Amino acid sequence: MLPLIIFLLFCALLIVWIATANRRKQKKRQAISNQPFPKEWRQILRNNLSFFYKIPSDLQLQLKDKMKIFLSEKQFVGHQGQEITDEVRVTIAAQACLLLLNRPTDFYPFLKTIAVYPAAFITNRATQDHSGVQQRDSRVLLGESWNRGKVILSWQDSAHGGADFNDGHNLVIHEFAHQLDGESGVTNGAPPLSKEHDYDIWANIMSQEFEQLRQQAQQGKRTLIDRYGATNPAEFFAVATEVFFEKPKELKQYHPELYAQFTQYYAIDPSSWS
C-alpha cells in the first residue's frame, strides 16, 4: 500500500509542477507580447517581407506578437561566417510565424536552435546500403528540419523567399511545416489535428493528392505543386504548404479539397488577402 501512496503522491506533484510551469511560461509570453515591436524590426518587415502589408491588419498585429515570443525563445547560430543580425532573425521569424496565426500554438515546442548558413551547404553522412556496406553520402542542401530540436537554413534562400512571395517556393515555410508535422511524434505528412475524426478526412484527401502528384511527376507533367512533393507524404505536406501561402488562389482553383483541408488546419484563407 505504501509504494502505491508514494507513487500517487509523486504523480500529483508532477501534475502540479507541470501546471505551474505552463502558467509561468504563458505569463512570460504574455509579458513579451505586451512589449512594443521595435522600430528597427518594422523597417526589416517593410524591406524584406513582401507579404506583410498584404495580409489583414489584425493578422499583422498577431504576427508581430508571435514573432516577439518566437525570437525570445529560439537561438540563432551562424555557420561558415554567417553573421546573425536582426535582419536575419526577423526575416526568418516572420515567415516561420506565418504558419502559427489564428490558432493555439506552443511555438514549435521541440525546436531550440536555428542554424543559418550564408547559402547552400554540404552535408556528409554515413549511410549503409542494402548489403550492409558503409559509405559517405554528400548532399548539397538549402535547408533541413530535424526532430531533435534544430532547423538549418540557407540565408540567401530564406531572404529570397521573403522577398518573392509569389513563386510558390519558400524555404522557411517548407522547413517549419516539417516542424509542425513532427509535433505528432513522427514526420509523415499528418500533423496533430483538432479532432480525432479529422484524421480520416485528412488522410483520404492527402493520399489522393499525393498519388496524383506522384503520377504527374512520373509522366513529366507540369504541376502547380512542386514535383519534389512526390518524394514522400512528409515532403508533400511541406511543399503543398508553400503553395498554400504563396499561390493560394491557384491552389484553391485546381486543388479545392486540399485547399479546404489547409484552411481548416492553418485557420486562415490566404486567397482572400489582397
Average pLDDT over all residues of the chain: 90
- Could you tell me if 252 and 246 are in contact, meaning their C-beta atoms sit under 8 angstroms apart? no
Question: Is 155 or 13 the better-scoring residue by pLDDT?
Answer: 155
Is a pLDDT exceeding 90 seen at residue 25?
Answer: no
Residue partners of 130: CB distance under 8 A and separation at least 6: none
Pairing of strands 150-154, 143-146: antiparallel
Question: Is 128 or 39 the better-scoring residue by pLDDT?
Answer: 39
What local confidence, expressed as pLDDT, does residue 136 receive? 62
Per-residue pLDDT, averaged over 167-188, amounts to: 96
What local confidence, expressed as pLDDT, does residue 130 receive? 62
Alpha helices in the chain (DSSP H): 2-33, 39-48, 57-73, 86-97, 155-163, 171-182, 198-218, 233-246, 248-254, 256-266
Q: How does residue 17 score in pLDDT terms, banded at 50, 70 and 90?
A: very low
Is a pLDDT exceeding 90 seen at residue 83?
Answer: yes
Is a pLDDT exceeding 80 seen at residue 19?
Answer: no
Domain borders along the chain are 34-127+135-272
Helix axes 256-266, 233-246, angle to 10 degrees: 80
Question: Is 72 or 140 the better-scoring residue by pLDDT?
Answer: 72
Question: Is the CATH number 3.40.390.10 carried by domain 34-127+135-272?
Answer: yes
pLDDT tens track for 178-202: 999 999 899 999 999 988 889 999 9
Of 16-25, 55-64, 71-80, the poorest mean pLDDT is in 16-25
- Could you tell me if 273 and 264 are in contact, meaning their C-beta atoms sit under 8 angstroms apart? no
- Grid cell of 80 as nine digits: 561558415
Q: How does residue 75 score in pLDDT terms, banded at 50, 70 and 90?
A: very high
- Could you tell me if 223 and 211 are in contact, meaning their C-beta atoms sit under 8 angstroms apart? no
Q: How does residue 26 score in pLDDT terms, banded at 50, 70 and 90?
A: confident
pLDDT tens track for 131-161: 666 666 678 888 999 988 999 999 999 999 9
What local confidence, expressed as pLDDT, does residue 122 receive? 85
